[in-house]
Amino acid sequence: MLDKILIISILLVLPIVAQTQEVAERQLDNNSISIYDNDLLSADFHSGRREELRKRMKSNSVAIFLAAPVRNRSNDVNFEYHQNPNFYYFTGLNEPHAMIMIFKEPTEVNGRFIKDVVFMQEKDPETEIWDGKRYGTSGATMILGLDMALENKVFHEMELDLDQFDEIYVQNIHDDIRDVPFKNGDLFDLKAKLDVKLNKVKSKQKNGQLSLWCAELREIKTDEELNLLKKAITITCEAQREIMRALNPSMTEYQAEAVVEYIFKANGAEYPGFPSILGSGENSCILHYTASRRPMNKNDLLVCDIGAEYHGYTADVTRTLPANGKYSYEQETIYKVVLEAQQAGIDVCKEGKNFWDPNIAATTVLSQRMKELGIIKNSSELRRYFMHGTSHYLGLDVHDVGRYGKLEPGQVITVEPGIYIPQGSPCDQKWWNIGVRIEDDILITNGKPVNLSGCVPREVEDIETLMLEKSRFND
């Protein structure tokens, strides 16, 4: 009795991931999954997302998602694991070698009527010494709130006949799944056994519909999602502000990248949401430049396109900075053209507008101003210097899924026009090697758009002022 009272007392004071008392008790068990964050998406969130999917599914149907494959970096070293966003959205499970089946109505599996079942790796103390603790099947039901969890090795033995369903939805599966030697029940085996079952019911598969439903659900962020996305954006904004303070012409691109990604990690972000883009001089005109090896010069611009990933949600914020802290006349001229275009795009980020309206607004400004500067003669030439769209959805992917229809409250999109004038362009040489992109993360509301990354200076004068401040890295 005394031991039980002691355990209950501990549970009352420990900062536990808020699920249930049973979850807290499992966290006291050395054999259970280790959870250190108290702001993860809740089991109720993932359960609610599954319910929203069921509302869209036809009667007597099933939806199937596979976890992302483990991807090899070289030899016996893999890349750090990143879950399939759809799988994570509906489960909360961030482990490989897994599959979930979501049923429209309760379906009998192993003698129980359930609404969903996940097949996954069971706990394995020997493997966990190397790779970290797993939820295990009991953890998946207790902590993540899934109806049933079974070891993935038993999937092929089950008498679950997919022919009993009228419609079957399967997310498009990556074709880079490797067979893990000496591992029975890995994702390769799981998919192979699933394919055998699916080949018997090809006429019932409606896979395209599932992608549309996922896009519909994920493009509108819940309050829980917005909290995580705002955290990712806040961390990214602090990184942008710090590189403004730290930047000087004696730095290399990789040193600038180190400043940015230090701030990410120091503030709790798990990863960059995409390879950080820090391109100076001629590299400012390369849209997705990631080599980061060039030494900077005093007259360079640095395009800093970065995004921290926090609990799966990714920011995407870009600023273009003068390496010496002061824009030249030509740099400032192009910068202000892009800034005017961006503001025009942000201004039309309103409920009911079409997704592409910000692009139209920004492109109109760019075209007019570039003609006035004599860089282009007619609007058709703009694509030489602005070759991408201004917006994409933001969320569990940096280029998140969505339907590209009307803008609705709860959507978060980027607005990121740019001008890129590489050396050799058919214009006055004074403009050569000037690349400028400005990008912010915009929340669509019932009223005015909200710039979630607006705390990072955009105006020329404000950037130059902040660049005069001392950085923690100056010494």
Give me the active site residues, please: 76, 288, 305, 316, 388, 392, 399, 416, 420, 437, 439
Helix (H), strand (E) counts: the chain: 13, 18
Tokens of 304: 């800093």
Q: Give dist(CA 352, CA 349) in Å, integer.
A: 9
Q: Give dist(CA 451, CA 225) in Å, integer.
A: 17
List CB contacts of 470: < 8 A, sequence separation 6 or more: 245
Q: Give dist(CA 198, CA 447) in Å, integer.
A: 47
**Residue 281 CA: distances (Å) to CA of 287, 336, 376, 460:** 13, 18, 22, 18
- Residue entry with tokens 């930047």: 247
Backbone φ and ψ for 123, nearest 5 degrees, come out as -65, 145
Give residue 318's identity as a one-letter amino acid code: T
Within 38-186, residue ranges assigned H as helices are 43-56, 85-91, 125-131, 136-142
Torsion of CA 17, 21, 22, 23, to 10 degrees: 0
Give residue 216's identity as a one-letter amino acid code: E
Q: Give dist(CA 239, CA 355) in Å, integer.
A: 29
